[in-house]
Amino acid sequence: MGRLFGTDGVRGVANADLTAELALGLSVAAAHVLAEAGTFEGHRPTAVVGRDPRASGEFLEAAVVAGLASAGVDVLRVGVLPTPAVAYLTGALGADLGVMLSASHNAMPDNGIKFFARGGHKLADELEDRIEAVYEEHRTGAPWDRPTGAGVGRVHDFDEGFDKYVAHLIAVLPNRLDGLKIVLDEAHGAAARVSPEAFARAGAEVVTIGTEPDGLNINDNCGSTHLDLLKAAVVDQQADFGIAHDGDADRCLAVDAVGNEIDGDQILAVLALAMREAGTLRGNTVVATVMSNLGFKLAMEREGVQLVQTAVGDRYVLESMKEHGFALGGEQSGHVIVLDHATTGDGTLTGLLLAARVAATGRSLAELAAVMDRLPQVLINVPDVDRARVATSAELATAVADAEQELGATGRVLLRPSGTEPLVRVMVEAADIEQARSVAGRLADAVKSALG
């Protein structure tokens, strides 16, 4: 069996890869592993369970809740809320475990399970490995030690989670958003209620799209992976800018007043300078991944801000931030972590802080984002290849070396297997967009040839 846990929990096609049986079994295994680790010692354990609006989340939530309760864990079911809300509530309510059912930006047929430890932090790799091992051990026959009678977990709906999370978001804003007109695209996802409520309470005039989830339309040509609707709406409504989230709202991308995309690198740059000005950018450092645009690195150097780069994945950004005590980090995709106020990427919080900076400075989002120049960057996803052989293929190594020689010091190449989908990502940066496209196309063909 391949490793179930990727860089962002367990994902797959719901009811095919990710079944009710798997969800139940992993939940029981998680309860047992955390009990072994001493997390539950001396008290009756509690878990917070939330989901995005996918239809499959309904039966998967039932399976997770059943698994946890059968293992003696009391469950607070918070319903449809963003991933960062579940993480926040896990910490704020003193829960021992948080579980979020979502496949984030993936298409509707997929779903996923993400576990949070006490405090709302992602589980360490070794705990995920242990959960997987324990699950497999019991899946093949070893019986669970199950409580009976009063020892079984109780299940309660925690409807106050919505207001508690929105109040938290408003409380951390440095200033109000009065006078701003903002279009929000919620991707028919988990933040369809939360984000518009938070922006409105903060004083913004809010126009919404993608706020009518029906279980089937999440991420469907909307949200942070499909910005065309938002771009058109911002221009049509003559709004100051637009904000887009993904299905579980741990991401935030933006669109300026004329419809230009503002990506995660630019958002990080704006927030880094705002936090430095406020004295909250600890270590005068921002953490980003190797996927960040070279223009971001150059801008931070010019502004005197240190940059630490990690492997791709917000969990690696977070690990570096926690290890060194840094306050800000994120990814080009729009995962932004403000560690003083969140334990994971929080798209709504990011959007609010970005809007607060616009309101406080009186400058347009386009003007603020112009602190960095994005070098042309081409990303090609190559599906249906053996992503495990990226690092060992001699044919691919030769192709990469040839590409790097052609680009010289004015560009770079990055090949990496996706941690959440069965594909290889080919990224090429160059001073000239046509050269970037040409090199990326040749490398994508080389990936298909070497790994197909």
- 246 annotated among ligand-binding-site residues: yes
From residue 316, how far is each of 19, 85, 436 by CA, in Å?
28, 20, 27
For residue 202, the one-letter residue type is A
- Rg over alpha carbons for the chain, rounded to the nearest Å, is 22
- 250 annotated among ligand-binding-site residues: yes
Evaluate whether 252 touches 84 at the Cβ level (below 8 Å): no
Query: Nearest to residue 314, comparing CAs of 277, 343, 275?
Result: 343
Evaluate whether 54 touches 108 at the Cβ level (below 8 Å): yes
Give CA–CA dist 203/200, Å, rounded.
5
Q: In degrees rounded to 5, what are phi and psi of residue 164? A: -65, -40
Neighbours of 153 (CB within 10 A): 21
Give CA–CA dist 139/135, Å, rounded.
6
- 228 annotated among ligand-binding-site residues: no
Query: Nearest to residue 379, comparing CAs of 328, 331, 317, 330?
Result: 331
Query: Nearest to residue 131, comparing CAs of 218, 194, 180, 68?
Result: 68
Neighbours of 323 (CB within 10 A): 10
DSSP states of 209-229 as a string? Answer: ES----SS-TTSS-GGG--HH
Give CA–CA dist 327/187, Å, rounded.
28
- 320 annotated among ligand-binding-site residues: no
Which candidate in 56, 104, 224, 320 is catalytic? 104
Catalytic site includes residue 224: no
Q: Under 8 Å CB-to-CB from 452, ≥6 apart: which residues?
A: 384, 385, 386
The annotated binding site for Mg(2+) is made up of 104, 246, 248, 250
Residues belonging to the active site: 104
The annotated binding site is made up of 104, 246, 248, 250
